[in-house]
Amino acid sequence: MASTSDFKNGMTIHFNHDLFQITEFLHVKPGKGAAFVRTKLKSINTGKVLDHTFPSGTKIEEVRIERRPYQFLYKDEQGYHFMHSETFEQTFINEQLINGYPFLKDGQDVEIVFHADEERALFCDLPPRVELEVTYTEPGVKGDTATNTLKPAKLETGAEIRVPLFINEGDMIKVDTRDGSYSERVK
């Protein structure tokens, strides 16, 4: 059991029958009354952010999580199959647990976060930016780069995003996996 004095950003706790990660916290000692801790908690299962105030000294159940390196192998009817980078142990997880799954390609290195006590996968994180090839997009018009106009483009993983007009088929681009936006063209 942990106390509110043990809080730190990134700590995972069991609260209200769910797993939450502390994203922000602030110890407050008012001039009158008891001290308390204001927190922002992000649910690991749903992604919702919750503001909650704990009285100082409250006991909270801390959950141990582990980040493990995996490599994406393939997808089938069971789910997405991954192989541990060091032990070569294979596992599969559902699409709902993968953050940014439309940008996942064969051989991609990812981190899967496990509940250490239950050996259960909680979620899978892709790198913040990945390099992907544009497989189809309308041709751009030469000299039409003065505005920030975007056009649709299909990527090698099948995902569709919006890219600037100067991007052509066959170009390699960097895509932000957190929001699915175009970052830059790779030289």
- The CATH number linked to 96 is 2.40.50.140
List, for the chain, all residue ranges whose pLDDT scores fall below the cut of 50.
none
Cα 174 → chain centroid: 16
The one-letter amino acid code at 96 reads Q
Residues in the chain: 187
Give how many domains the chain has, as a whole number.
3
| pLDDT on residue 107 | 92
Q: What is the DSSP letter of 146?
A: S
Say whether both 118 and 71 belong to one domain. yes
Question: Quick one: how far is CA 182 from the chain centroid?
Answer: 17
Task: Let me know whether 46 and 75 are in one domain.
Answer: no
pLDDT in tens, 160-177: 999 988 888 999 999 999
Domain with 114, as residue range(s), is 65-125
**How far apart are alpha carbons 14 and 53 in whole angstroms?**
15
Same domain, 140 and 109: no
- Nearest CA-CA partner of 102 in 81, 78, 123, 126: 126
Of 109, 125, 141, which residue constitutes the final position of a domain?
A: 125
Given 47, 62, 77, the domain boundary residue is 62
pLDDT score, position 6: 92
Give the pLDDT of residue 142.
66
**What average pLDDT is seen over the chain?**
91
pLDDT at residue 45 in the model: 82
Q: What is the reported pLDDT for 110?
A: 95
